[in-house]
Amino acid sequence: MTTEALTARSGAGIAGRVSGWLVESVLPVASVVALILVVWYGAAILMNGPQVLDRFHRAGVTPTNAEIVAATYAMDRPVLPAPHQIAAEFADSVFGRAVTSKRSLVYHAWVTLSATLAGFAAGVVLGLVLAIGIVEVRALEKGLMPWIIASQTIPILAIAPMIVVIFGTLGLTGLVPKAVISMYLSFFPVAIGMVKGLRAPDRLQLDLMRTYSATPRDVLLKLRLPAATPYLFSGLKIAIAIALVGAVVAELPTGATAGIGARLLSGSYYGQTIQIWAALLMAALIGVGLTGIVALIERVTLKAMGARP
């Protein structure tokens, strides 16, 4: 390993670089995944064991240890499904069905994703408008800040059904109320981050603008907004993740028939734990994917803005 690492550091040869990447990036991740799998399989035996033993007992069979273990990994409605069961269900519902089918996880993922993206976009705009208002108009800070903070202290599970009902009476169902709930959660990190970011320029940078007799618009566009860009991306990464949570949560209390939240709900009605876990896995993958995309845009943007490598 030492020689490989050394070759990688010296940057000599593609093979050296690849093995360096394997050692530095893949190995730590792979070890954690392996550890989780071991603990998971162990926990599945423990948690599904009583049910399995009970079933063997009623059937009047005395099972071997190997039979018990095999049975805990093959239940229809286990307390804790084994990872390979989740993987099989995931693969089946993603690749095994037409994406237009109501049994396709891709279809449900798209329903939730579209609400997430709409809510995120609206939340970013709202967060930016609030932050610019607060920074530009002193009086707005005292007027708005308490409401912004208070809005986030209300549990989203409490307010989501009301938002859905209110929009329902206006004839708006489906995407709109879910997007509103996503927006409700995601504007907050953007607003808070941008208030700090727009105030990031120091005295000297502001004095410079004054010596040019720059208009407030120029100060905002050429100084405050660029200075706030790193803060914006910190806010966006949190915002996109909780926008997804908001969309899923919005599907739970409303009896939605489509979306990841709907899959979780129907799974819990019928005790389909494998289906629940597959939906959770899909939600996690979307979350990782979305934050990854934001992080990538962040890297490209900040690099173009002269960030040190």
Partner 1 sequence: MISTAAEPDIATTPHRAGQFPAIDIRDLSLTFRTADGTVDALSHVDLTVGMGEFVSFIGPSGCGKTTLMRVIADLERQTSGEIRVNGLSPEDNRRARGYGYVFQAPALYPWRSIERNVMLPLEIIGLPKEERKARAAAQLEAVGLSGFARKFPWQLSGGMQQRVSIARALAFEPGLLLMDEPFGALDEITRDHLNEVLLKLWAGTRKTVIFVTHSISEAVFLSTRIVVMSPRPGRIVEVIDCDLGRERPLEIRESQKFLDVAQKVRLALKAVHSYDD
| Binding stretches for partner 1 (CB under 8 A) | 204-205, 207-214, 218, 222-223, 226-227, 229, 305-306, 308
**Shortest spacing between CB 217 and partner 1, in angstroms:** 10
Structure tokens at 206: 């502001």
Structure tokens at 87: 């993987």
Q: Please report, to the nearest 10 degrees, the dihedral formed by the alpha carbons of residues 304, 190, 250, 143 taken in order.
A: -160
**Shortest spacing between CB 226 and partner 1, in angstroms:** 5
| Contact status, residue 5 vs residue 20, Cβ threshold 8 Å | yes
Structure tokens at 208: 């410079």
| Contact status, residue 233 vs residue 294, Cβ threshold 8 Å | yes
Nearer Cβ to partner 1 (153/211): 211
Centroid of chain to Cα 115: 13
Nearer Cβ to partner 1 (105/232): 232
Tell the residue number behind the tokens 């593609």, with chain if given: 14
Nearer Cβ to partner 1 (61/304): 304
Nearer Cβ to partner 1 (181/223): 223
Residues in the chain: 309
Helices then strands, each counted (H, E), the chain: 14, 0
Centroid of chain to Cα 102: 23
Closest CA to 167 of 90, 61, 50, 254: 254
**Shortest spacing between CB 293 and partner 1, in angstroms:** 22
**Shortest spacing between CB 240 and partner 1, in angstroms:** 23
**Shortest spacing between CB 128 and partner 1, in angstroms:** 18
Nearer Cβ to partner 1 (69/227): 227
Centroid of chain to Cα 193: 18
**Shortest spacing between CB 199 and partner 1, in angstroms:** 16
Nearer Cβ to partner 1 (152/234): 234
**Shortest spacing between CB 34 and partner 1, in angstroms:** 41
Instruction: Decide: helix, strand or coil at residue 212.
Output: coil
Nearer Cβ to partner 1 (188/231): 231
What's the Rg (C-alpha) of the chain? 25
